[in-house]
Structure formats: structure tokens, C-alpha cells
């Protein structure tokens, strides 16, 4: 046990060093921007993985929480003059609450029905963002949003730092009895209940925390892009998040991180970014689900086994 | 005799089908209590009523003077009621050890922040291992539960349920699909469990299996109570024999 | 009224797809094939003829694509007993298709005029465009034909048997895989044709499918998964509600209203209007 803890701390140290070095290795503002995007995607993938990978709840509505985080924080900052950090706290809270609302559906619905309900949830949120023009400016968008730090490297450190922190916390949680509980719900709800697990409570926990983290990622997004339009939070974003989780390896901790990194950088490395980005996601997702359902993590494990 | 679990006039219907009708049952403390009857007698439904998966349409249900009506299944576990299922419901992707560890859920009482900061609190590993040893599975504790042969999966389910440290342990047709050696192993374990002052309720449709182990037998047929008594009395009761005729048993 | 025809066809279509059905893929199909129609138009046929031809082309293309996707994606995953994977696979395929079309055709919508879209007809005090009437007419005919097929022909009954219990149907000499393939082909063909009908009505871009498909889902849920009468009923219901929404609340809110309905339905009665009983055996 002690060796495992030390090993984990060692890896953490390595990760911190790499993260610290990255903005110096990729030092154009374009690539630093990609790094920030990557960090945000890592957060999003981790959040979704908690709900889908560890608790086994089919959630297609994560884009809604991402969007709520973005809009609530931006509106508070621009409309009411709040300080960024306070606004972020409020936005995370709002997203979390919304996550609890979705959890209410999860308690009663299984499988496909939940998938559709979550999809509906995301669509409704999107429509609200589009139509409630008094508050959100609808499709016209909100402009001139400043990130908390204007230097792209600083922004990266902020987001990446938060991503690392969230990773460590969730990793601890998942290795603890909480993880056992969530996975029990994923594997077989009925017998989980027969072991005393309060499914409603823990589903609410998973959805709420997952939503809150997605909302947190949302707080950084508008500042990064500079403008805020509802289209950034359309349903397809839920699918891209799902692609990251699955391609990387659903139900593991490192999987979503790998998936987010790969799917953020891959379209960049291949020429013809833009339209091809989503096509790559779709292709990757389909191929992975067909041939390597455990994602890159599973492929890696198999490879290691073959070599030794 | 102290009744640990007392049900009075329980009834449950699904659509038009009366699965359980007017069943009154008193399970004595620290005994092995068998619930038998031919297929379709309503035994599993009754078990589901007792464990909280279904709520009865009528009747009362008490566990040590505590009213169970309305209490959901997961709360009953905290009172000390555990069960296994007729169709094996293991956590197939998890290892044996992880399955049993999940069973300690209601005993995890560390403050939440400790999980966030420190991760695993490995308090129950020892006890989990000894439970696995009890059912003869300790050697395979690192394997995936789904990889086990059927008979061993059953035993794993029992080990996992025991992790909740129940006072009342209910098993739904645990012997189904087991060969003779496995049944023998199972019955010996049940006896041992009984000797640890855990009250055991076994639902079985095969009469012979439980006759050697049970202290008291309750017979159901078509959702209604048929007879209750010692194994010997049940075996010779003409109504019981008649109910089973056409089935597998000789008196 | 237009919405009515639209939703009807999607309602029926979707429910025919079994358990792990195409979801967004269907929408993607139609978008794809409406674009094909555009290409067909380039031939020098008279307008009405060209359009008719294009409808058949759409139908055929839909069928082909359905077949292909089925073979590549659904069949290998079918018996693995996992709910999640086929669903995700369909999501992957749909994202792929949608963006492939985006790459091929560009994001700027095409103007797709059918010979009927410029004609209008007046019934009572309401103006209908010819195209809308065509949509309704063809949808109604297709639905009636499908309904008859399912109920009265041997193949139709075989299909329903496979839907209810695949193993047993197999034991009775019906080849389930073949029938499933057939079903998907029919469903995809219908989708393709719907695309042809809708092209002139909706804005034609690779994203056109998306808006329709999500609504189709709502209809299927409200009517009940796998239930023909329910879906037809739900289609009508949704269509009417949509029409009223447009009238009184403005067209931007259509999607919102439909989805709120969907969520309410799921909260209260997940199995749909005409529920199919499925008890879980513990």
C-alpha cells in the first residue's frame, strides 16, 4: 500500500512538471491556446466519466452544464459586475443544482430512456439559452469577455492546475469506498440496493459533481474565446465529450485525460482542421466502440501484455 | 421464542394476479427457517416483500418491533436484513474482493473529506478476505467475478451479503443450478451462519435440500400459506405432498 | 399542417428500428440524400419528373446506406448484450456522417426548390403550399402502406415476432438477422424519402437532419418505444401542438415546447402513451 501511494505521488510530480513545462515547449500563442482548450477538455471528460464511466448512467446532456457554467458566470461578470472568482463559484453551484435536477430523472429511468431524457435536457437548456434573449442575448452573443488572466500561459496554468487538482480529488474518491459504491450502482443497481446503497443519493452525487465540474470548465471558456454564443453548447458538444471519454477509456481515470488530449491535438496535427475535427471524432468513436471498447487504455494494456 | 421478523396477512397483486395472499409468518430468532412450495407459489414475491423490493398491498410487517412498511430496501439493510437473489446479481466487472468490499457500504463511516484527501481507507480488507475464505474463494480474490463458475458465483454472492453483517439473512433459491457437492458445501455454510446467531431464511422449491438444515418450515402454494411446522411434520403432511405431486418429491 | 406530415413519417420510421436503433443517423441519412437530389436535378428531365426520380433515388440511397451501416456496425455488436455500446456506435456514425456531409457540401444551406414548392392551394381560409400537401399525402400513404404491411402480410408479422422475442422467432424458422436487416433497410429508405420530401421545406444543409431527428425522438418516446399505434398517435399530437405553438408563441419556441413535453412524459410515464408492459424479474 505504501509503495502504491508513493508511486502515485511520483506520477503526480511528473505530471506537474510536464504541465509546467508545456507553455514553454509550445510557445506560440496559437498552440498555447490549444493547450488551454485541451485542459478544459480534460476537465469536461473527467466530469462526464464520473457519471458514465463510474456510475454507469447514460448521460448525453453534459453540454448543458458546460453552457450553464459559461453563461451564469459571464452574465454575473458583465451584467452585474461580479468578480470573476465569485461568479465562478456561483456558476459552479448553478450547474451542480441543474445536475441534481437531471439526477432526479436518472433515479427513475434506465438505459435508453435516461439517454433520451438527458438529451432532451440538453436541448431544452440550449433552447433556453437561445430564446431567453433578455438575459443571454441569444444568438447575437455576448462580446468582449476578458479571461481572468490575459497572458495565455497564465490562463493555461490556471485551467491546467485546476484540472490536475480535480483529477487528484476524483482519483482519491474513486479509490475510496465511494468509488466502490458508484461502481456497484453501475454494475447492478438492484443488488447494490440490497447491500444498503441509497441509489438516489449516490446518483445525485455523481450527476451533481459531474455537472459542477463541467460548469467549472464553462467558467473559463468565454474568457478564452472572447465571445459567447449558445452554439458552443449545442448537443454535439455532449457527443464530443463522450467521444473523448470513450476513445480514451471509459471507467478509468487516465482514460478521459488521454482521450481529451488525443482528440484535442489530433485534428490539429492532421491538416484540414475545422470541418474534419468532428468527423475524426465520429470516426474514432465508432471504431473504438466496435473494436476496442475499453479505449486507448485497453489497447495499451493489451499491448503491454503482448510485449511481456 | 422471539420472532425476529413478523408478517401479518401480507398480500401483493400484480395486475390481476394475486402473487401473495394473506400470508402470516413469524421467523424465530436465531433459527434456520425454510420457505418452500412448488413453482409459482409466491415464495420469491414474499421474499421481495420482506426485503423491501416490493411494498405490500395489505398487511403488516415488523422487524424486531420496527415497522417495515414503506421502508425502502436499502434502509432495511441498515437494520440488519440482507438477501441474495435467485438470478445471480454480481458485480461482474469487479474483482471478488471488490464485490465483497462493496458489501461493507453501510459500515463505512469515515467523514467524507477523508475520502477526498486520502483516498482509500482500507479498513475492511481483512474482514473481506476472511469472508472470501469462509466461502472458499480467497485464492481467487483478485479475479473478475464474471469469470467464476456458476456455483462459485453463488458463494460469492453469499460472502458479499454477509459483509453487511446482517442479523437476518434471506436467500432466494441458493441451490438452483448447483451440483450435489456444491449443495452440500452450501448447506454446511448455512449451518455455520446459523451458529453465529444469524437468523437464516431460505427460499427453496426443492424440499429435500432444506430438510436437513431447517428448524422450521413454512409451505406456500398459489400465493397462500399451506402449512407450517418442523421438517418432519411437513414431510408427512398430506396436503403438502399433494401440492407437490406431479413434481419431484417422494414422501 | 406541414409539421403533421413531417412528424408522422418520422414517428413510424423510428419505432421500427429495434432496441438499439439508429438515432441521429436517420437524420443524417435524410440530409445526405436530399443533397443527392440536388445532383439528380442537374439531369435534363422535366421538373416534376426529376423530382419524382429524385424521391426514388433518395429512397434507394437510404436503403443502401442503412444496409451498409447495419452490416458494418449493428450486426457485429448485436449479440453482445450491452445496451451502451450500440448506442454509442450510432452516435459515432451519426457524427461521422454529418461531418462528412459538411466536408463534402459545405455549411452554407442550399436552396432546394421542388416543382411544388411554388404552388399554393387555398382551402377555406388557410393557404397551403403545394409541397406541404405533397408531404402530407405521401407520408399518409407511406404510413398506411407500412401499417398494412406490418399487420397483414406474412413478412410483417414475422418482423413483429422478431421484435418481441428474437430467440423464439429464430427457433420457429424465421431468420432474425435477415429480418432485422430488412427492417433497417425499410426504415432507412423511409428516412431517405422523408428527406426528399422535406428538402424543399426545410433549409437544406448537413445540419437539417439534426433538428428533425431530435423531434422524431420525442415522438417515439411520447408514443412509446416500439409501438406503432402509439407513435402514430404521438406524431399527430406533437404535430398539432407544434402548429399551435407556432400560432401563439412564435416558431422559435417549437423545439422547447416539444422537449418539455418529452421530459414531462418521461418523468410521469416513461413507457409512453400506449405502454408496453415490461416487468423486471428479480
pLDDT in tens, A31-55: 788 888 888 999 999 999 999 888 8
**Minimal Cβ distance to A293: which of C85, C107, C267:** C85
> Could you tell me where the DSSP H helices lie in chain B?
43-51, 73-79, 96-102, 112-118, 125-134, 150-162, 180-195, 207-211, 231-236, 238-244
**Cα separation, B33 vs B94, whole angstroms:** 32
Residue B177's pLDDT band (cuts 50, 70, 90): confident
Q: How far is CA C138 from CA B53, C54, C236, in A?
A: 49, 14, 15
Residues 6+ apart with CB under 8 A from B99: B90, B91, B145, B156, B159, B160
Residue C27 falls inside a structural domain: yes
Q: What is the pLDDT of residue C257?
A: 75
Q: In what order do the strands lie in the sheet with B58-63?
A: B17-28, B3-14, B58-63, B66-67
**Minimal Cβ distance to C89: which of A112, A115, A290:** A290
Residue B101 falls inside a structural domain: yes
**Cα separation, A222 vs A183, whole angstroms:** 34
**Cα separation, A257 vs A249, whole angstroms:** 9
Look at chain B and report how many structural domains it folds into: 1
Residue B141 falls inside a structural domain: yes
Q: Decide if B161 touches A, using CB distance below 8 A.
A: yes
Residue B23 falls inside a structural domain: no
Residue C230 falls inside a structural domain: no
In tens, the pLDDT along B194-251 reads 889 899 999 987 777 788 888 899 988 888 888 888 888 888 888 888 877 644 554 4
- Collapse the DSSP code of C81 into the 3-class scheme (helix H, G, I; strand E, B; otherwise coil) and give the result: coil
Report the candidate in C65, C20, C58, C93 with the shortest Cα–Cα distance to residue C190: C58
Domain coverage including residue B151: 91-165
Residue C125's pLDDT band (cuts 50, 70, 90): low
CA atoms within 13 A on the CB side of C38: 17
Q: What is the pLDDT of residue C8?
A: 36
For chain B, list residues whose CB is within 8 angstroms of any CB belonging to chain C.
Answer: 14, 44, 48, 53, 85-87
* pLDDT > 70 in chain A, percent: 95
**Cα separation, C142 vs C69, whole angstroms:** 23
Q: What is the pLDDT of residue C158?
A: 61
The mean per-residue pLDDT over the stretch B107-118 comes to: 82
Say if residues C6 and C211 touch (Cβ distance below 8 Å): no
| pLDDT beyond 90 at B84 | yes
Q: What is the pLDDT of residue C10?
A: 40
Q: Which of residues 111-140 of C touch A (CB under 8 A)?
A: none
| pLDDT beyond 50 at B142 | yes
The mean per-residue pLDDT over the stretch B176-186 comes to: 88
Highest mean pLDDT among B141-145, C54-58, C210-214, C233-237: B141-145
Instruction: State the CB neighbour count (10 A cutoff) for residue A180.
Output: 25
**Cα separation, C12 vs A137, whole angstroms:** 38
Q: What is the pLDDT of residue C33?
A: 45
| pLDDT beyond 60 at A115 | yes
Residue C270's pLDDT band (cuts 50, 70, 90): low
Q: How far is C85 from chain A (nearest CA, A)?
A: 6
| pLDDT beyond 50 at C38 | no
Q: How far is B53 from chain A (nearest CA, A)?
A: 9
Residue B97 falls inside a structural domain: yes
Q: What is the pLDDT of residue C191?
A: 61
Its ipTM equals 0.86
Residue C220 falls inside a structural domain: no
* pLDDT > 70 in chain B, percent: 96
The mean per-residue pLDDT over the stretch C118-133 comes to: 57
From chain B, the residues in CB contact with A199 under 8 A are 74
Look at chain C and report how many structural domains it folds into: 1
The residue with greater pLDDT, C111 or C268, is C268
As a whole number, the mean pLDDT across chain B is: 87
Residue B203 falls inside a structural domain: no
What is the CA B138 to chain-centroid distance, rounded?
A: 22
Q: How far is CA B180 from CA A2, B50, C257, in A?
A: 44, 29, 62
Q: Decide if C240 touches A, using CB distance below 8 A.
A: no
Q: What is the pLDDT of residue A243?
A: 87
Q: What is the pLDDT of residue A239?
A: 83
Contact C96 A279 (CB under 8 A): yes
| pLDDT beyond 90 at C21 | no
| pLDDT beyond 60 at A241 | yes
From chain B, the residues in CB contact with C281 under 8 A are 87
Residue B19, H or E segment: strand B17-28
Residues 6+ apart with CB under 8 A from A290: C73, C76, C77, C89
Residue C245 falls inside a structural domain: no
Residue B115 falls inside a structural domain: yes
Q: Kindly report the CA angle at C201 between C197 and C207, in degrees rounded to 5? A: 90
Residue A201's pLDDT band (cuts 50, 70, 90): very high
From chain C, the residues in CB contact with B86 under 8 A are 282
What pTM does this model have? 0.84
The residue with greater pLDDT, C152 or B81, is B81
The mean per-residue pLDDT over the stretch C128-153 comes to: 64
- Collapse the DSSP code of A194 into the 3-class scheme (helix H, G, I; strand E, B; otherwise coil) and give the result: coil
Q: What is the pLDDT of residue C174?
A: 62
Contact B85 C281 (CB under 8 A): no
Domain coverage including residue C69: 2-209
Amino acid at each position: 500500500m505504501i509503495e502504491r501511494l508513493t508511486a502515485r505521488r511520483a506520477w503526480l510530480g511528473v505530471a506537474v512538471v510536464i504541465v509546467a513545462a508545456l507553455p514553454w515547449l509550445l510557445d506560440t500563442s496559437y498552440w498555447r491556446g490549444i493547450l488551454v482548450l485541451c485542459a478544459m477538455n480534460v476537465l469536461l471528460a473527467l466530469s462526464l466519466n464520473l457519471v458514465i464511466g463510474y456510475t454507469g448512467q447514460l448521460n448525453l446532456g453534459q453540454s448543458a452544464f458546460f453552457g450553464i457554467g459559461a453563461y451564469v458566470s459571464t452574465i454575473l461578470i458583465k451584467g452585474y459586475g461580479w468578480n470573476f472568482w465569485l461568479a465562478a463559484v456561483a456558476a459552479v453551484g448553478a450547474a451542480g443544482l441543474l445536475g441534481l435536477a437531471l439526477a432526479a430523472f436518472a433515479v427513475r429511468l434506465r438505459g435508453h430512456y435516461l439517454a433520451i431524457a438527458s438529451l432532451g435536457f440538453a436541448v431544452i437548456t440550449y433552447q433556453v439559452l437561445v430564446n431567453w434573449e433578455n438575459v443571454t442575448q441569444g444568438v447575437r452573443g455576448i462580446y468582449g469577455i476578458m479571461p481572468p488572466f490575459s497572458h495565455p500561459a497564465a490562463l493555461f496554468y490556471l485551467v491546467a492546475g485546476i484540472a490536475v487538482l480535480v483529477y487528484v480529488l476524483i482519483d482519491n474518491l474513486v479509490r475510496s469506498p465511494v468509488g466502490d459504491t458508484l461502481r456497484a450502482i453501475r454494475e447492478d443497481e438492484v443488488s447494490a440496493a440490497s447491500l444498503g446503497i441509497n441509489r438516489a443519493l449516490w446518483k445525485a452525487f455523481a450527476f451533481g459533481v459531474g455537472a459542477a465540474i463541467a460548469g467549472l470548465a464553462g467558467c473559463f471558456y468565454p474568457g478564452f474565446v472572447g465571445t459567447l454564443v449558445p452554439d458552443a453548447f449545442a448537443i454535439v458538444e455532449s457527443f464530443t465529450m463522450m467521444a473523448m471519454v470513450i476513445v480514451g477509456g471509459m471507467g478509468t481515470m487516465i482514460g478521459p485525460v488521454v482521450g481529451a488530449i488525443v482528440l484535442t491535438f489530433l485534428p490539429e496535427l492532421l491538416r484540414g482542421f475545422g470541418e474534419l475535427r468532428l468527423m475524426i471524432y465520429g470516426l474514432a468513436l465508432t471504431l473504438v466502440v466496435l473494436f476496442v471498447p475499453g479505449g486507448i487504455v485497453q489497447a495499451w494494456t493489451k499491448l503491454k501484455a503482448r510485449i511481456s | 421464542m422471539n420472532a425476529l421478523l413478523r408478517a401479518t396477512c401480507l398480500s401483493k397483486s400484480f395486475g390481476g394476479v394475486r402473487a401473495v395472499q394473506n400470508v402470516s409468518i413469524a421467523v424465530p430468532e436465531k433459527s434456520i427457517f425454510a420457505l418452500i412450495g412448488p413453482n409459482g407459489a409466491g415464495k420469491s414475491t414474499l421474499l421481495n416483500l420482506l426485503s423491501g423490493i416490493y411494498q405490500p398491498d395489505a398487511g403488516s410487517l415488523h422487524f424486531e418491533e420496527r415497522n417495515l412498511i414503506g421502508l425502502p430496501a436499502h434502509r432495511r439493510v441498515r437494520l440488519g436484513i440482507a438477501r441474495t437473489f435467485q438470478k445471480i446479481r454480481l458485480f461482474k466487472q469487479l474483482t471478488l474482493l471488490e464485490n465483497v468490499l462493496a458489501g461493507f457500504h453501510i459500515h463505512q463511516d469515515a467523514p467524507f473529506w477523508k475520502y477526498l484527501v486520502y483516498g482509500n481507507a482500507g479498513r475492511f480488507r481483512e474482514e473481506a478476505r476472511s469472508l472470501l475464505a469462509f466461502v472458499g474463494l480467497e485464492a481467487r480474490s483478485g479475479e473478475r467475478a464474471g469469470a467464476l463458475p456458476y456455483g462459485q458465483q453463488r458463494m460469492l454472492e453469499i460472502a458479499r451479503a454477509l459483509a453487511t453483517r446482517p442479523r437476518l439473512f434471506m436467500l432466494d433459491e441458493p441451490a438452483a443450478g448447483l451440483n450435489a457437492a456444491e449443495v452440500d458445501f452450501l448447506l454446511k455454510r448455512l449451518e455455520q451462519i446459523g451458529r453465529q446467531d444469524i437468523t437464516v431464511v431460505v427460499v427453496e422449491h426443492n424440499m429435500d435440500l432444506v430438510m436437513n438444515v431447517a428448524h422450521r418450515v413454512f409451505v406456500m402454494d398459489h400465493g397462500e400459506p399451506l402449512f407450517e411446522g418442523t421438517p418432519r411434520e411437513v414431510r408427512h403432511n398430506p396436503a403438502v405432498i399433494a401440492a407437490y405431486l406431479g413434481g419431484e418429491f417422494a414422501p | 399542417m406541414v409539421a403533421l406530415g413531417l412528424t408522422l413519417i418520422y414517428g413510424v420510421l423510428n419505432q421500427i428500428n429495434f432496441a438499439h436503433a439508429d438515432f441521429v443517423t436517420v437524420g443524417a441519412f435524410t440530409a445526405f440524400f436530399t443533397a443527392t437530389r440536388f445532383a439528380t436535378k442537374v439531369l435534363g428531365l422535366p421538373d416534376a419528373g426529376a423530382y419524382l426520380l429524385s424521391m426514388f433515388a433518395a429512397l434507394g440511397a437510404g436503403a443502401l446506406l442503412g444496409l451498409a451501416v447495419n452490416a458494418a456496425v449493428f450486426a457485429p455488436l448485436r449479440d453482445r448484450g450491452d445496451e451502451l455500446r450500440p448506442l454509442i456506435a450510432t452516435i459515432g456514425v451519426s457524427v461521422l456522417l454529418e461531418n462528412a456531409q459538411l466536408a463534402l457540401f459545405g455549411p452554407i444551406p442550399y436552396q432546394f426548390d421542388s416543382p411544388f414548392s411554388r404552388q399554393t392551394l387555398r382551402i377555406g381560409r388557410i393557404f397551403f403550399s403545394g409541397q406541404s400537401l405533397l408531404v402530407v399525402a405521401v407520408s399518409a400513404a407511406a404510413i398506411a402502406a407500412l401499417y398494412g404491411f406490418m399487420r397483414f402480410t406474412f413478412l410483417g408479422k414475422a418482423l413483429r415476432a422478431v421484435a418481441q422475442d428474437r430467440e423464439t422467432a429464430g427457433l420457429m424458422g424465421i431468420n432474425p438477422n435477415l429480418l432485422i436487416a430488412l427492417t433497417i433497410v425499410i426504415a432507412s429508405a423511409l428516412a431517405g424519402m422523408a428527406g426528399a420530401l422535406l428538402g424543399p421545406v426545410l433549409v437544406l444543409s448537413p445540419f437539417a437532419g439534426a433538428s428533425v431527428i431530435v423531434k422524431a425522438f420525442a415522438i417515439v418516446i411520447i408514443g412509446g418505444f416500439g409501438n406503432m399505434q402509439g407513435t402514430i398517435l404521438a406524431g399527430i399530437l406533437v404535430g398539432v401542438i407544434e402548429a399551435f405553438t407556432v400560432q401563439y408563441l412564435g416558431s422559435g419556441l417549437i423545439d422547447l415546447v416539444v422537449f418539455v413535453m418529452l421530459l414531462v412524459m418521461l418523468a410521469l410515464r416513461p413507457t409512453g402513451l400506449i405502454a408496453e408492459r415490461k416487468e423486471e424479474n428479480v
